[in-house]
Structure 1
Amino acid sequence: MRKEYELQTDVLGTIVEATPVTKKHADLLMTFATRTDYRSLRYVMTRGTYSTSPARIIDTDGREISPDYRTWVEAELEAHGGSAREVWLAHKNAGFLLTENERLLHYFVHDRGGEQDNFIQAAVWEEQEFVEREFFPRTERWGLPDAADLRHGSSSLGAEQFDRRLLGQPRYRLHEVIDMHRFAALGEELFLARHRANGERRLIVTDGETGEQRSLTIRELTPGYDKMQWSGRRFFDDWTDSSPGRTGERICQRWTFNTQDYVDQQGVRELSFVPQWAHTRKVAELKNTRNLDEYSLYGKLTQFDERIGMAFAWYFYGLHGNLVKSGQMERVLEASEAGLIVLPEHDYRVLRGWGDAPYGF
């Protein structure tokens, strides 16, 4: 079932899959411009940190046994009474091969302008099919796969391995198209509803000196409870209010967003995202800064901004937490308030807000 903020359709998926993979995604961008509503779609970044995924079953001559290995496995298990060993005995000498897909995930954005969250984010897989192993081991020497191994495509312990052979050309597959304005609005709405409900929960608090007990709400026990915000909204607002937003930088051209839509065991739904930087230059983590004075630390952060190509970038990378650390952000805030360094007033206010109520991803 498609969610409120999702825009992908079967028609759009078919259009993407029919487009050949070309350098810099030129054909795909042209397809979006001429056949969809996303005429200003532009490429942002690629993530290549994904493991390979099992795909098809073929024979030694390349003839297709099944277009979906999972469907084939389920049918074989059913035919053999659920016994993985019986499936293995039936096919161990057939030499069936398991094809796999090597995957890259490309992010594109259609920026509608205005508020920083007013954009469409499209994610498209680029998959290259290959084969380099048989599906079943031919002997029991290294043990046999169980039903779970078969279902996960990890049945080839001890199976014959050979040099990787590419099958066909790389191809696109639509992953998702998200209206981030809708996503952010819904994420904030769910957060506020949950936050209000949690705030009314009561706890019994015991005075350590007198032993007196009182019933207090979480709201009463938590200073500033009603001012707390969804972290996603804060990320967009901080961008708007600080140097990047004030100088015209668009967040969707600097970051992509790995979104999550989660329902817990109590049926409570939560939306969140993890921002993913889109810089293409190699940027090193800020290390070994403990022995630097505040002025030198801020100099390092300024150099970091120069590498990124944007003022106050270090703050948003600090929220992400991999290249800039929260402790470095705290030192800059303290140094600014001590008059040791000077931040633009709008950047100081954003940093001060973070200091009062830290958040991150």
Structure 2
Amino acid sequence: MVATATDLDPDQSLTPALRVANACAALPAGADLDALIAAVRDALGADDVQHAMTRGGWHRLGGVVGLDGDRIADHVAEWAEAVSGGDIDELMAYVSDLRCFVTRLNGQTHYLVVPTGPAARDYIQIEIEEVQEVLDRVISDPDWFPDSIAEFVDPLDFPRLESEPVGPARMIFRRLVPVNELMESSDSGPRLRRFLDDWDRSSAGETSAFCEHWVLSIREYRDQDGDDHRSAKPVPIPSVEIPSLADAEVARGVKLANQIHGFDRVLGYPFAWYFHMLTNPKVSHRLAEAVHADLIGAYDYLPVRDLKVLRDWYNQPYGI
């Protein structure tokens, strides 16, 4: 089932983002990825919600808990400021007799996608954070005296504890982005628009959906005028290890044809080498130059639609 705008919000009472946020909040602590996907499908009324990828390895500051696990504070930075009035001497005197722990939030981000049409930009991207609070460190040490509240809150050099969970993981809604709307905004940028247009024009777009192989890494920021913006960069969905084709490895002729077709077989779709060349420094831009030189000569190993995309790149190269 391909979701439409009406499908995603049939009674117009709640936005899709709020529906997903509510669904995440309603999940029990410790819910797994399958439960998350089922909840999002129910919230959106869309059967075609797919798990694209999960990115982990990040963490945030946590709170403060006692030896028995009782909650003292949800946010260590706010707590430290409140109990000390912003004075590091006051803070260290206050915590010297406390027996408690500072925690951190270990996280991973689940990327879900919902196709909404035939073009590369026709999908909705949903990001859900799975966060688990764990013990990070004891709150103080007699031999440690930080220079500032900031250093106390997030010290660079302090003995860390084993990451013992304080409680089960929970799902937290991050964002929902209709990619076609993002692409119509000034935040998308000409190179990203060209990247997706190249997908649609090529044999890659003819054979599979963009969101089956790529997601967008989206960053939010505020400019000097105080206006909120987003930047977006395509990130491949990791299914296999991406081959490397450095400058020195680029061949010509039949060997080059075997290189690019072999690359495509590993990634699982045609013209994959071109899109990874645009985004991955390990895939040389000389690859496109060499293929172009072959194809204006005696060789013919690209479909016509891919050759047109390649010629446009040769005349106006870009990367993203």
**TM-score tier after normalising by the smaller chain length:** 0.7 to 0.9
2:243 to 279, 284, 303: 284
Match status 1:126 vs 2:130: yes
Q: Which residue in 1 is equivalent to 2:146?
A: 144
Q: Which residue in 2 is equivalent to 1:75?
A: 82
Unaligned runs of 5+ in 1: 1-5, 192-229
Structure 2 vs 1, CA of residues 156 and 84 (structure 1 numbering), >3 Å: closer, same or farther?
farther
Match status 1:92 vs 2:96: yes
User: Could you list the per-position Cα deviations for residues 270-322 of structure 1 after superposition, in whole angstroms to 9, with x for gaps in the alignment?
Assistant: 65411110131223322474473443233122111101110101111111124
Match status 1:18 vs 2:26: yes
User: Could you list the per-position Cα deviations for residues 24-78 of structure 1 after superposition, in whole angstroms to 9, with x for gaps in the alignment?
Assistant: x221121122233444211111112x43211111112211111222321221242
2:191 to 219, 231, 239: 231
Structure 2 vs 1, CA of residues 94 and 241 (structure 1 numbering), >3 Å: closer, same or farther?
same
Q: Secondary structure of 2:283's match?
A: coil
1:66 to 51, 66, 73: 73
Q: Which residue in 2 is equivalent to 1:111?
A: 115
Q: Which residue in 2 is equivalent to 1:8?
A: 17
Structure 2 vs 1, CA of residues 335 and 269 (structure 1 numbering), >3 Å: closer, same or farther?
farther
Aligned residues: 305
User: Could you list the per-position Cα deviations for residues 179-219 of structure 1 after superposition, in whole angstroms to 9, with x for gaps in the alignment?
Assistant: 1110001137x85xxxxxxxxxxxxxxxxxxxxxxxxxxxx
1:30 to 33, 38, 45: 38
Q: Which residue in 2 is equivalent to 1:200?
A: none
Q: Which residue in 2 is equivalent to 1:155?
A: 155
2:203 to 243, 247, 256: 243
Task: Give the AA of the match of 1:183.
Answer: L
Task: Give the AA of the match of 1:71.
Answer: E
Q: Secondary structure of 2:266's match?
A: helix
Q: Secondary structure of 1:52's match?
A: strand
Contact 2:137 2:160 in 1 (8 A): yes
1:130-279 counterparts in 2 under 5 A?
130-140=134-144, 143-150=145-152, 153-155=153-155, 157-158=157-158, 161-187=160-186, 230-247=190-207, 249-262=208-221, 264-265=223-224, 271-279=230-238
In structure 2, distance between residues paired with 1:85 and 1:307: 59
Q: Which moved more, 1:35-44 or 1:175-184?
A: 35-44
The TM-score normalised by the length of structure 2 is: 0.86
1:306-317 counterparts in 2 under 5 A?
306-317=265-276
Q: Which residue in 2 is equivalent to 1:195?
A: none
Q: Which residue in 2 is equivalent to 1:343?
A: 302
User: Could you list the per-position Cα deviations for residues 74-125 of structure 1 after superposition, in whole angstroms to 9, with x for gaps in the alignment?
Assistant: 21242xxx21122012112313211112111110001112322111100111
In structure 1, distance between residues paired with 2:298 and 2:226: 49
In structure 2, distance between residues paired with 1:270 and 1:52: 24
In structure 2, distance between residues paired with 1:171 and 1:145: 34
Q: Secondary structure of 1:120's match?
A: strand
Shift of 1:347: 0.2
**Root-mean-square deviation (CA), in Å?**
2.5
In structure 2, distance between residues paired with 1:311 and 1:344: 10
Contact 1:47 1:105 in 2 (8 A): yes
Q: Secondary structure of 1:15's match?
A: helix
In structure 2, distance between residues paired with 1:110 and 1:185: 18
1:56 to 56, 63, 67: 63
Q: Secondary structure of 2:165's match?
A: strand
In structure 1, distance between residues paired with 2:167 and 2:226: 44
The TM-score normalised by the length of structure 1 is: 0.77
Using the aligned pairs only, state the percent identity. Answer: 23
Task: Give the AA of the match of 1:65.
Answer: I
In structure 1, distance between residues paired with 2:108 and 2:24: 15
Q: Which moved more, 1:58-67 or 1:329-338?
A: 329-338
Contact 1:187 1:272 in 2 (8 A): no
User: Could you list the per-position Cα deviations for residues 116-150 of structure 1 after superposition, in whole angstroms to 9, with x for gaps in the alignment?
Assistant: 2111100111112211411323324xx42412223
Contact 2:101 2:139 in 1 (8 A): yes
Structure 2 vs 1, CA of residues 236 and 345 (structure 1 numbering), >3 Å: closer, same or farther?
same
Q: Which residue in 1 is equivalent to 2:255?
A: 296
Structure 2 vs 1, CA of residues 269 and 34 (structure 1 numbering), >3 Å: closer, same or farther?
closer
Contact 2:55 2:109 in 1 (8 A): yes
Contact 1:7 1:178 in 2 (8 A): no
